[in-house]
Structure 1
Amino acid sequence: MNDEPQGEPAGARELGERERGVLALERRSWPGPGAKERAVREQLGLSPVRYYQLLNALLDDPRALAHDPVTVNRLRRVRAEREQRR
């Protein structure tokens, strides 16, 4: 008989440091154009394009919703509104 727990490996339910950093940047408000992109490069070491790719994937990740439901739900609404306009 196998005594190891079934399902996800340990820690699989938590977001990584980079994912938490992306959500933290999205919680902030930004004073003007370029400030957010500069913070993305300096704080996360990502290009803005890669940042938005990660962010979009996070919006569909249940772990992100569990970590920061207010931010994720707000961003999901914004994304849905943009998709409706297309």
Structure 2
Amino acid sequence: MTAAETPDTPDAERPAEPAEPGAPAEPACSAAPGAPAAPAGLSERDRAVLAVERRGWPGPGAKERAIRERLGLSPTRYYQLLGALLDDPRAAEHDPVTVNRLRRVRDARRARR
């Protein structure tokens, strides 16, 4: 054991070591096997927002409750984030079915106004 590795050194004083050398800080989404990972993917929160939207809900109350409990967001903030995600090409790469469905719904609502 070297002097830097003494067992009496508190963990707070030791430098943080990455789990794997060269591992990305954030896990990449699995768009296609063998495809190169995008340098800047979606955040965990963005993926969670898309996952909530992907699921079917029996009514608005259940969805709003899930948004508050699972994401820790108000429904208003959730829909603001979702609106921004629909314009993000990384979201379309991550979950094209959900994003394209939501874009069609948004466009239909805009056309009715």
Structure 2: 5+ residue stretches without partners: 1-24, 27-38
Identity %: 75
Q: Which residue of 2 aligns with 1:61?
A: 88
Residues 49-82 of structure 1, C-alpha deviation per residue, up to 9 Å, x if partnerless?
A: 0000000000000110000000000000000000
1:13 to 40, 60, 75: 40
Number of residues paired by the alignment?
77
Letter in 2 for 1:28: R
1:82 aligned to 2:109? yes
Aligned partner of 1:5 in structure 2 is none
Structure index of larger Rg: 2
- In structure 1, give the amino acid aligned to 2:96: P
> 2: CA distance between counterparts of 1:32 and 1:70?
21
Task: Report the Cα distance in structure 1 between the residues aligned to 2:99 and 2:75, rounded to whole angstroms.
Answer: 19
What corresponds to 1:47 in structure 2? 74
SS in structure 2 of the partner of residue 34 of structure 1: helix
Segments of 4+ in structure 1 off by > 3 A? none
Residue equivalent to 2:49? 22
- What's the CA shift for 1:31? 1.2
TM-score normalized by the length of structure 1: 0.85
Query: Aligned letter for 1:23?
Result: L
Point out which structure has higher relative CO (alpha carbons under 8 A, 6+ apart): 1
Structure 1: stretches of 5+ with no match in the other structure: 1-9
TM-score with structure 2 setting the length: 0.65
Q: Displacement, 1:22?
A: 0.3
User: 2:109, 2:46 → 1: CA distance?
Assistant: 23
